[in-house]
Amino acid sequence: LAGVAAETGVIMLIYLDQAYRERLHGGGMRSRADVDAAVAHGAVERVRPKMMTVIATIAGLLPILWGTGTGADVMKRIAAPMVGGMVSSTVLTLVVIPAIYSLWKEAEVRRRLASAPRAVAPGRVLQPVER
């Protein structure tokens, strides 16, 4: 369970970063909406693979949860947390990680735009501002 959650989290970050870079080089990041669009594009790419993994794992655990044979009581106590862990890792991977990534990249874009030189009318000189 921990391995699956870690792997899907890392792969999600790779997809988010790739979508962000494509958007950055394609048209630039000028606003929060650009960051949100890039993050949404990267996250959507991972929905189907993550859901397929979760559904296959839960489908494999259901017979164990419903089993009545010898040792079923022990196996149920193992399978139930696995089902809960798969559901919670899905929420983490598809909702929480993209949200945190979006906040991180929005702050980065804000800092970059604040430090970027601004256009000045011809004949005017910019004076540094004391802070």
Domains of the chain (ranges, CATH numbers): 2-114 (1.20.1640.10)
Ranges 19-23, 71-75, 100-104: which has the least confidence: 71-75
How many helices and strands (H and E) does the chain possess? 5, 0
Distance CA 53, CA 60 (A): 11
> Which uninterrupted H or E stretch holds 56?
helix 47-66
The torsion angle over the Cα atoms of residues 108, 110, 113 and 114, rounded to 10 degrees, is -110
Residue 71, pLDDT above cutoff 60: yes
pTM, two decimals, is 0.75
Q: What is the pLDDT of residue 16?
A: 94
Q: What confidence tens digit (pLDDT) does each residue in 5-37 have? A: 899 999 999 999 999 999 888 877 778 888 999
